[in-house]
Structure 1
Amino acid sequence: MTDHTLTRNLASIPHSIWPADDLRRAEKEAADSLGLTLHELMLRAGEAAFTLARNTYPDAQHWLVLCGHGNNGGDGYVVARLAAAQGIRVTLLALESDKPLPEEAYEARDAWLNAGGVIHAPDILWSEDIDLIIDGLLGTGLRNAPRDDVADLIERANKSPAPVVALDIPSGLIAQTGATPGAVIHAAHTLTFIALKPGLLTGKARDVVGKLHHHSLGLDSWLAGQPTTISRFDASQLADWLPPRRPTSHKGDHGRLVVIGGDHGTAGAIRMTGEAALRTGAGLVRVLTRVENIAPVITARPELMVHELTPQSLDDSLEWADVVVIGPGLGQQSWGQQALRKVENIRKPMLWDADALNLLAINPDKRHNRLLTPHPGEAARLLGCRVADIESDRLSAAQRLVQRYGGVVVLKGAGTVVADDAGHLGIIDAGNAGMASGGMGDVLSGIIGALLGQSLTLYDAACAGCVAHGAAADMLAERSGTRGMLATDLFSTLKRVVNPDVIDVNHD
């Protein structure tokens, strides 16, 4: 069983991501450098989309093609013409506009008409025998909610039983952010052209993209020579971060981690963080928590060293540890506040999560040796804004958090974003809806903390940790689905994921 919210052949999807605005400017430059016209690129895009649609839905005999008044619509005209040439019945609807079509889209429109095609008004009745819809309404230039006439077509397409293949991006999805400010196509398949756009991987993308495909339109050589500032990270890269261990290595080589938290009633949070660190390969893990939590945590996981959190034990542990994780179950009372005040000034790598973030929002400071792991609600508190503001532009939100607090930020969610103060941005392409349950963030903190102790940088530990976290959950989803997945269930697959030299995590 697989998670159908977003699937793809990872090997066919690039790891570089282009900001949407940069890509629109670069398209002509790339074509010129290779002696191509924009019309030739459009023909390539249309042919690639037709081939995907035909191969995916070979029995579909009546295609409805929805064309907007831009180059996305131009791609639709090419698809329609190729489909009709193969004997497929095609109904094409086109939006009207006072503005002229772009030159290359105009050529594609003329070719459709010259081949005997008909352009119907957008308000015609749809035939009941339509069995495939091609979405060429809106492209990557969209910045606001679709206007009413476009929204009407989008809603009609979504209500149709016919599957939708989206050209470049589902209409209504913002290419840079993944936001959906209004109506949006729910595609079964999306074929994106030239390069990946951030909005296909974060925000609301997983709800609407369907299966993601990519076609470079023959611009691979040009794209390879261009630097990009955003990266896509997935399970295929775990071996780059996690090489095999030396046969003579010992526990002291793999990091001493202290985990601080677990106020009254939250022993489970700190226990999950501690065990996650062990499952990810930390050499030694010490837990500082409330005295009443010691026996339950040791009983559940005897490999953890568990002590009462006192001023003396905290001083000793901060001296002993290579890495500090604080926040899971910490609470916001004086007990947690006092611990955080002592931790905040250490110079060792440290990760702050949960209530440590809520306390930071009250007394903000900037640290370059610190990794923050907020969910959108915590991020909103840290930035003094609404959750909706965070979700409307997750990449920008992560960058703003780094500017204000320093270090590295992991903005959790579907399409987790990782940002650092050197300008790197990553989107994590792993994980599924089963992770929307309590304790998952506690497990992630332990995973990343363990990787920090194994000599990964803050940024690499964040990216590798998020991928391992998501890949472990994906293994579970393939095995038994997403509903009912528990945070501790990840322990059964996590230790396999973090040993990529032993197992291919994409083909378990």
Structure 2
Amino acid sequence: MAMRPALETIKHLIPPLSPHLHKGQAGRIGVIGGSEDYTGAPYFSGYSSLLLGSDMCHVICDAGAAVPIKSYSPDLMVHPYLRKSKSSSTQSISEIMDQVTPLLSRLHVLVVGPGLSRDDFMLECAKQIILKARERSMPIVIDADALCVIQKEPSVIQGYTNSVLTPNVNEFRRLCEALNVHDVDDQVQTPTAARRLSQALGGVTILQKGPKDLITNGETVYICDVEGGLKRCGGQGDILSGTVATFLAWGVGYQNNVWSHEDVVDVKNIPLLASYVGCCVTRDSSRRAYAKYHRSTTTKRILSYIQQSYEEQFEKSLTD
């Protein structure tokens, strides 16, 4: 049976707005993605993480995507380290990893996939970055094209419970096929299918996007049925990945006792709770944008409602 987490439990993970915290302690996010053809997705993911409340966001992208992404917002720190197969660069994957790896030590959470493309070299770079982040026990959100990596090689993420996969209906079906999870009806979204996929991946959190979002670690199943907007513009999944990442970063601070708190949250449930919050904020922000703009709703317009949506659903006085 699907249920909803207690709001008071979620609020324990939110860092206080305190003069005792310094820059970066409320979340340092890394987004791995962005190719010459797809520059909006990493921007939406990274910028939504900042709008929800993370302190800093780094985007690691293909060289051809760096200038456009930088032009979208000066708040994003952009690193043109990735390369596509047909790039004029002769860099090997090991040389690219030599650039990326030092940056990982400065981050709390990785989002892998927005705008990555399905270029073989880019996907192999993503795979190696996921494995390196896993070595460091970093929370990872795997979205969009990076799900192709998991579809081809489930072992890359299998058993790593500090990760969240965010498949849409088609991506979910392909993952089920790759993991031999049978009897999945493309037209019916059920807690059983999501739970079975999570179990096949060893307890990885699955955030199955749909008319109602289902979130499970193979045991607990949460449902998010917060009303969303009726305009299905591209990019809302990127907002979701960024908002989930921010709450995962707050979970890291919670575990490390960056601020004083009551120790009431079971840390194994942080990916579940982060996913639920990301769904709530993304869906409600979409609803608010749609109420004003109707058919003219765009992802950029949805961004402007993240703060209001979050504060009305989850915020309380957190100053000390």
Using the size of structure 2 for normalisation, the TM-score is 0.78
2:247 counterpart residue number: 451
1:416: Cα distance to partner?
0.5
Task: Please say if 1:327 is aligned against 2:113.
Answer: yes
1:427 counterpart residue number: 223
Structure 1 residues 474 and 238: alpha-carbon distance in aligned structure 2, compared to 1, 3 A threshold:
farther
Equivalent position SS for 1:454: helix
Opposite residue 484 of structure 1, the aligned amino acid is: S
Alpha carbons 1:419, 1:426 under 8 Å: kept? yes
1:485: Cα distance to partner?
1.8
1:382 counterpart residue number: 175
Match of 1:396 among 176, 192, 196: 192
Distance, in Å, in 2 between the alignment partners of 1:317 and 1:364 is 25
Task: Please say if 1:282 is aligned against 2:54.
Answer: yes
- Residue deviations 1:236-288, cap 9 Å, x none? 99756546522432322111111101123011111111111111111111100
Opposite residue 374 of structure 1, the aligned amino acid is: P
Distance, in Å, in 2 between the alignment partners of 1:235 and 1:250 is 27
1:302: Cα distance to partner?
0.3
Task: Please say if 1:315 is aligned against 2:315.
Answer: no
What fraction of aligned residue pairs are identical, expressed as a percent?
A: 26
- Residue deviations 1:456-505, cap 9 Å, x none? 71111101111111111122233343x3321221211102222348989x
Task: Please say if 1:479 is aligned against 2:292.
Answer: yes
Number of residue-to-residue matches in the alignment: 274
Distance, in Å, in 2 between the alignment partners of 1:358 and 1:267 is 19
Match of 1:348 among 129, 138, 148: 138
Using the size of structure 1 for normalisation, the TM-score is 0.50
1:376: Cα distance to partner?
0.9
Higher RCO (CA 8 Å, separation ≥ 6 residues):
2
1:386: Cα distance to partner?
9.0
1:30 counterpart residue number: none
Opposite residue 298 of structure 2, the aligned amino acid is: L
Alpha carbons 1:357, 1:374 under 8 Å: kept? yes
Match of 1:409 among 206, 209, 212: 206
Match of 2:215 among 401, 412, 418: 418
- Residue deviations 1:78-105, cap 9 Å, x none? xxxxxxxxxxxxxxxxxxxxxxxxxxxx
Equivalent position SS for 1:498: helix
Distance, in Å, in 2 between the alignment partners of 1:274 and 1:493 is 15
Distance, in Å, in 1 between the alignment partners of 2:18 and 2:209 is 33
Larger radius of gyration between Structure 1 and Structure 2:
1
1:467 counterpart residue number: 280
Structure 1 residues 437 and 501: alpha-carbon distance in aligned structure 2, compared to 1, 3 A threshold:
closer
Distance, in Å, in 2 between the alignment partners of 1:249 and 1:501 is 24
Structure 1 residues 306 and 232: alpha-carbon distance in aligned structure 2, compared to 1, 3 A threshold:
same
Task: Please say if 1:245 is aligned against 2:26.
Answer: no
1:433: Cα distance to partner?
4.2
Equivalent position SS for 2:114: coil
Runs (5+) with no aligned partner, structure 1 = 1-18, 20-229
Distance, in Å, in 2 between the alignment partners of 1:418 and 1:320 is 29
Runs (5+) with no aligned partner, structure 2 = 82-95, 253-269
Distance, in Å, in 2 between the alignment partners of 1:277 and 1:360 is 24
Distance, in Å, in 1 between the alignment partners of 2:75 and 2:174 is 36
Match of 1:254 among 16, 26, 35: 26
1:401: Cα distance to partner?
1.6
Structure 1 residues 415 and 379: alpha-carbon distance in aligned structure 2, compared to 1, 3 A threshold:
same
Alpha carbons 1:294, 1:307 under 8 Å: kept? yes
Opposite residue 495 of structure 1, the aligned amino acid is: Q
Opposite residue 210 of structure 2, the aligned amino acid is: G
Distance, in Å, in 2 between the alignment partners of 1:362 and 1:312 is 25
1:150 counterpart residue number: none
1:297 counterpart residue number: 69
Distance, in Å, in 1 between the alignment partners of 2:214 and 2:300 is 23
